[in-house]
Amino acid sequence: MKIARMVFALRICSLLKCAVADPGAGLHTWDRFSKLPYPDDKAFLYDTFPDNFMWTVGTAAYQVEGAWQKDGKGKSVWDAFTRGGNRVFTGDVGSDSYHNIPGDLRALQQLGVSHYRFSLSWPRIFSNGTKGTYNEKGVEYYKTLIRGLKKIKVQPVVTLYHWDLPDNLQNIYGGWNNSVLVELFEEYADFCFRTFGSDVKLWITMDNPFVVAWHGYGTGVVAPGIKNDPDLPFRVGHNLLKAHAAVWHLYDERYRQLQGGRVSIALASHWIKPGRTGQDSRRACQCSLDFVLGWFARPLFGDGDYPPCMKRSLTHRLPSFTDGERDYVKGTADFFALSHGPALSFQLINDSLRFGQTEDLDLRMLLYWVHAEYNGPPVFVVESGWFVNGNTRTKDAKHMYYLKRFIVETLKAIRFDKVNVIGYTAWSLLDGFEWYREYGIRRGLYYVDFKSDHLTREPKTSAMFYSKLIEKNGFPQLPENRPAVGVFPCHFAWGVSANSIQVETVPTQFVDLNVYIWNISDNGKLKQVEGARVPTQRQRHCSDYAAIRQQVSEIQHMHVSHYHFSLNWSSVMPTGRVWEANDTLLSYYRCFTSELQRANVSPVVTLWHHTGKLSSLPSLMEANGGWQSEETVRAFADYARLCFQRLGEHVKLWITLNEPNEEGLGYVVGHQLLRAHALAWRVYDNEFRRSQGGKASLVLHMDWVEPAFSFNREDVAPANRVLDLRVGWFAEPVFGNGDYPPMMRSWLQQRNPIDLFNYHLPMFSEEDRQLVKGSYDFFALSHFTTSMVYDEVEDKYLYKDNLEVQLISDVTWIMSPRRNSPVVPWGLRKALNWVDSHFKGVPIYIMANGVQEDTARFKDSLRVYYLYNYINEALKAYTLDGVNLQGYFAYAFNDRRDPGFGMYGHVEEEVISKSSLIHYRTIIDRNGFPPLGSTPQHCPSVPSRSPGCPVLTKRPVVAFISVVGSAMLITVGLIIYYRTKRHK
Residue 188 has pLDDT above 60, yes or no: yes
Alpha helices (H) in 35-166, listed in sequence order: 61-64, 77-81, 101-111, 122-125, 136-151
Ranges assigned E (strand) in 175-328: 202-207, 262-268, 271-273
How are beta strands 474-475 and 379-384 bridged, if at all? unpaired
Residue 401: pLDDT band with limits 50, 70, 90: very high
Which pLDDT score is estimated for 12? 44
Helix (H) or strand (E) holding 745: helix 742-751
pLDDT digits (tens, 9 = 90+) for 118-128: 999 999 999 99
Amino acid at position 711, single letter: F
Which pLDDT score is estimated for 610? 84
Residue 6 has pLDDT above 80, yes or no: no
Q: How far apart are CA 768 and CA 737, in angstroms?
A: 12
Residue 2 has pLDDT above 70, yes or no: no
**Taking Cα atoms as reference points, which of 783, 776, 819 lies closest to residue 702?**
783
For residue 157, report the phi and psi dihedrals to the nearest 5 degrees. Answer: -120, 110
pLDDT digits (tens, 9 = 90+) for 458-495: 999 999 999 999 999 999 998 888 999 999 999 999 99
Q: How far apart are CA 91 and CA 104, in angstroms?
A: 18
Residue 19 has pLDDT above 50, yes or no: no
First to last CA, the chain: 118
pLDDT digits (tens, 9 = 90+) for 604-648: 999 999 876 666 799 889 888 999 999 999 999 999 999 999 999
Determine the average pLDDT of the residues in 415-421. 98
**Taking Cα atoms as reference points, which of 593, 443, 335 lies closest to residue 58?**
443
Share of the chain above pLDDT 90, in %: 77
Determine the average pLDDT of the residues in 36-50. 96
Determine the average pLDDT of the residues in 129-139. 97
Size of the chain in residues: 984
pLDDT digits (tens, 9 = 90+) for 55-82: 999 999 999 999 999 999 999 999 999 9
Residue 302 has pLDDT above 50, yes or no: yes
Q: How far apart are CA 910 and CA 353, in angstroms?
A: 46
From residue 551, alpha-carbon distances to 118, 546, 555, 696 in Å are 67, 9, 6, 24
From residue 166, alpha-carbon distances to 78, 118, 122, 126, 727 in Å are 9, 18, 6, 8, 61
Residue 168 has pLDDT above 50, yes or no: yes
Which pLDDT score is estimated for 977? 52
- Degrees, nearest 5: CA angle 232-234-239: 95
pLDDT digits (tens, 9 = 90+) for 872-894: 999 999 999 999 999 999 999 99
Q: How far apart are CA 887 and CA 885, in angstroms?
A: 6
Residue 337: pLDDT band with limits 50, 70, 90: very high
Concatenate the DSSP letters of all residues of 613-650 into one string: TS--S-HHHHHTTGGGSHHHHHHHHHHHHHHHHHHTTT
Residue 963 or 146, more confident: 146
Q: Residue 890 pairs with which residues in a beta bridge?
A: 496, 849
Residue 530 has pLDDT above 70, yes or no: yes
Residues 6+ away with beta carbon under 8 Å from 104: 97, 145, 429, 430
Which pLDDT score is estimated for 345? 52
For residue 689, report the phi and psi dihedrals to the nearest 5 degrees. Answer: -60, -45
Which pLDDT score is estimated for 186? 98
Share of the chain above pLDDT 70, in %: 89
Which pLDDT score is estimated for 966? 59
Mean of pLDDT over the chain: 90
Determine the average pLDDT of the residues in 279-294. 94
Which pLDDT score is estimated for 212? 96
Concatenate the DSSP letters of all residues of 648-672 into one string: TTT--EEEEEES---GGG-HHHHHH
Determine the average pLDDT of the residues in 7-19. 42
Which range among 444-458, 799-813, 939-953 shows the weakest confidence by mean pLDDT? 939-953
Output the CA torsion 638→642→647→651 (10° steps).
20
pLDDT digits (tens, 9 = 90+) for 489-499: 999 999 999 99
Determine the average pLDDT of the residues in 932-953. 63
Asked if 364 and 409 touch (Cβ cutoff 8 Å), the reply is yes
Q: What letter would DSSP give residue 112? A: T
Which pLDDT score is estimated for 979? 59
